Amino acid sequence: MALWPVYTGTAQPHDGIAELPPPPPWRAFDGHPVLDPPDDADDASAGSPDRTHRAATYQATEQTVQLVNAALYLRRPLLVTGPPGTGKSSLVYAVARELRLGPVLRWNITSRSTLHDGLYQYDPLSRLYAARRAATAPGDPADPADGIENHLRLGPLGTALLPYARPRALLIDEIDKSDLDLPNDLLNVLEEGQYEIPELVRAARDTPDGRAQVMIDGSDRRVPVARGRVRCRAFPFVVLTSNGEREFPPAFLRRCVTLRLRQPDDRHLADIVRAHLGEPDAYAEHLIGRFLSRAGSGELATDQLLNAIYLARASGLSADSLDELAERLMPYLGQSRGSHAF
């Protein structure tokens, strides 16, 4: 019997991902050779206090739980939109922690990002230097370190699409900052779950089994790539975040499950404060109320509120000084649309 929901939002790690039902026939993938899922030891940053804290304290709404599970069942990317500070990027860490998906792969998008950046990086200059070194010592045996795979590393998207037995978690952060072409460029790769590395395709003609051992993103681990072609087996849990700064093509949107986050209400804010800083005291409740009243006149982020509450507890300042400090810690993030009076 199918297990719904696989992701519960309770922050309690479990192996429910193993009980995920088979994908729809049009989203089934058969990449090989099958790779064992990595553990956190493969990523030096996986256990960082910041990421661990974000994953353990994330407060999922009912809508978030429903749409995360829809993306997992359908093997579709999850497009998460909303204002700053609503937990868009923290969501993927929470899901990866609960479902034990291993270290989160992260691709931070800029206006210069291309699909190639996400798939792999190849350094032709280092290959050229290696070839020159070999040419100066023609009598020496070939150095195995001079193979093309030693000058190539898979990017976060390229690593996520390897044929892992379990899904990897991939964050494509702030996709709305990209060049206009990137969402369309992502369509085919995310739809087909595969890509080619032309440099390895050409090199495979000269190797007996056509395999190369390639380094992956965020780790010194090497994985086999057969004849320069990568195809996933378990489609990764892909989260694309957007601050709503642009519209996306319909063809891109229809291939994603879309989750629209909004500023949390008073009850949700209290849960967030409780998860991060413990039970809200009277002054924390006062700041929550002020935060909500000001949020109607401008753009604020939840971490601004958390900063103010933390300092209120740690600083020992008087109430008047705390109010003044809180105002300075919670300026509007966009253009002012009202009074900044606290």
Q: From residue 69, give the alpha-carbon distance in Å to each of 4, 163, 188, 260, 335.
A: 8, 21, 23, 15, 36
- pTM summary value: 0.87
Q: To the nearest 10°, report the CA torsion of 95, 170, 218, 12.
A: 0
300 secondary structure, DSSP code:
-
Written as tens digits, the pLDDT of the chain (342 aa) is: 457 899 999 999 999 999 999 999 999 999 999 999 887 655 544 556 677 888 999 999 999 999 999 999 999 999 999 988 889 999 999 999 999 999 999 999 999 999 999 999 987 666 555 556 656 665 555 454 567 888 899 999 999 999 999 999 999 999 999 998 999 999 999 999 999 999 898 877 766 677 889 999 988 899 999 999 999 999 999 999 999 888 999 999 999 999 999 888 899 999 999 999 999 999 999 999 999 988 877 888 899 999 999 998 898 888 788 888 888 888 887 644 443 443
Encoded tokens for 320: 């008047």
How confident is the model at residue 58, as a pLDDT?
94
How confident is the model at residue 40, as a pLDDT?
60
For CA atoms 43, 47, 48, 54, give the dihedral sign: positive
How confident is the model at residue 336, as a pLDDT?
42
How confident is the model at residue 23, as a pLDDT?
96
- Long-range Cβ contacts of 48-56 (<8 Å, 24+ apart): 51/93, 51/104, 52/97, 53/276, 54/90, 54/93, 54/94, 55/11, 55/90, 55/93, 55/94, 55/96, 55/97, 56/11, 56/94, 56/97
242 secondary structure, DSSP code:
E
CATH class of residue range 16-260: alpha beta
Please report where in the chains the tokens 């996986």 appear, as a residue.
46
Q: From residue 85, give the alpha-carbon distance in Å to each of 100, 242, 281, 295.
A: 25, 12, 22, 12
Q: Supply φ then ψ for residue 173, to 5 degrees.
A: -90, 130
Separation CA 214–CA 195 (nearest Å)? 15
How confident is the model at residue 222, as a pLDDT?
93
CB-CB contact of 75 with 6 (8 Å) = no
Residues forming CATH 3.40.50.300 domain(s) in the chain = 16-260
How confident is the model at residue 148, as a pLDDT?
80
The separation between the first and the last C-alpha atoms of the chain, rounded to the nearest angstrom, is 54
Separation CA 98–CA 9 (nearest Å)? 8
How confident is the model at residue 340, as a pLDDT?
41
How confident is the model at residue 46, as a pLDDT?
52
Angle at 67 between CA 47 and CA 249, to 5 degrees: 100
